[in-house]
Amino acid sequence: MNVVELIIQKRDGHAVEPAAIRALVDAFTRGDVPEYQVSAFLMAAFLRGLSDRESTALTEAMLHSGEVLDLSSVPGLKVDKHSTGGVGDKISIALAPLVAAAGVPVPMISGRGLGHTGGTLDKLEAIPGFRTDLNVDQYRRQLGDIGVVMIGQTSEIAPADKKLYALRDVTGTVEFIPFIASSIMSKKLAEGIDALVLDVKWGRGAFMKTEADARRLAETLAAIGTEYGKPTVAWLTDMNAPLGYEVGNWLETKEAIAVLRGEQVPEVTELVETLAGEMIWLGGKAATPEAGTAEAAALLRSGAAFEKFVELVRAQGGDVSVVENPALRESRPVCTVEAPEGLRGTITSIDPYALGRIAIELGAGRKTADEAVDPLAGLTILKKPGDFVQPGEPIMRLHTLHSDRTGSLSERAAAAFSTAGGTARGDLLVDRYWQGTWRGAR
């Protein structure tokens, strides 16, 4: 294999043979091809596109770069969920224990922050002591013992995706449907699931900026799942505003804990209950998705979902005391952002992409693949679309150790708010895709 020739071939817009794609992925996984060459190939593919044949080859190569797990020893239908990422998206943290509390085993393998969006692993690891590096045997054992496990990719599970995921994050090659689809499905198909629920986001805060692109991604993902015999439901959700009030690893985990305690957090509770309903239905514990949603709401009210989360945290070495009392967790210095002159009236929109980039500058995300995140950094939104605001009112809090950055970041944060025009989020739940048909949201 001549990697330079492959780069040139794709750079010039030609198709690459599936065998060559598999050879490139295998060599990169082994460490025989340097990152700079794979980065060049990723950018060439990003700019020139990949055919369905090339995309399938990429997914296959990533899936079979490691072990495809067998969880048949764990009773029940194993169901997972995946989100394509959004600002303030802490859904998985509440969702996994909630569905497990309904009796559906949830084997969840998640990722770290990607681009302007946070990652579930970083949020879980904001709980002191929480381990996401369990090996396959521990993963399988815990799933059988308590019905839920949340880990990162191991060396056995789609190792090619783990390396490519980190590289995409720092080379500007994130927002590309073939890469997104192959990354998601290689992980999910390798983790031993029986069914899958997808949250495909679109809008300013998502990687898919338009509803049409998100629909195309959902169709691609659902088709791959169906091809592999895994029932797959995809929801399109609107990401034209942040989800909830908190952005940042511990801040989002704390908000997810509030949902698990039965609090109604705008957008977050609604999405958690809807996706849980689908998972409970696919897991055979409800007659319809709607019945599953009703069951999920009842489990949140009863406290059973929160107790399952405590069980999960304890099983993975986390400090249960801060879950039971989040006020015990240390905090960062806070800078309050006030509405500037000219920001008066009803807020029509908040730019989630701008807030995602600000969160990275505060320390909540990465600029390079090996950069550490500050688990306590982030921002709290004090005013949401639909709220009235006038100059001088607090609209946001910034949590950071980087006091030298708060001045310029405060200005950028204020500029993310609009009281005139803009693209306000419509219905959060846009459409549902299941076995080739779309159904309008409830």
Q: Which residues are marked as active site?
A: 82, 161, 168, 183, 187
* Residue 295, CA atoms < 13 Å, CB-side half-sphere: 25
Report the amino acid identity of residue 442: R
List, in sequence order, the alpha helices (H) in 229-303: 249-260, 268-282, 289-302
Whole-angstrom Cα distance, residue 218 to residue 213?
Answer: 9
Radius of gyration of the chain (CA): 21
Evaluate whether 279 touches 194 at the Cβ level (below 8 Å).
Answer: no
Which H or E run includes 126? none
Q: Give me the residue label for tokens 């309904």.
A: 102
Structure tokens at 33: 């091809």
Whole-angstrom Cα distance, residue 338 to residue 206?
Answer: 26
Structure tokens at 320: 């249960």
Whole-angstrom Cα distance, residue 120 to residue 89?
Answer: 9
Structure tokens at 129: 């002591």
Backbone torsion region of residue 149, taken as left when φ is above 0, otherwise alpha when ψ lies between -120 and 50, otherwise beta: beta
Torsion angle, alpha carbons of 433, 436, 438, 442, to 10: -50
Report the amino acid identity of residue 366: R
Q: Would you call 37 helix, strand, or coil by DSSP?
A: helix
Evaluate whether 43 touches 168 at the Cβ level (below 8 Å).
Answer: no
Q: Would you call 71 helix, strand, or coil by DSSP?
A: coil
The neighbouring-strand residues paired with 12 are none
Whole-angstrom Cα distance, residue 310 to residue 260?
Answer: 10
Phi, psi (degrees; rounded to nearest 5) at 50: -125, 140
The length of the chain is 442
Determine the Cα angle at 120 with ends 119 and 121, to 5°.
Answer: 95
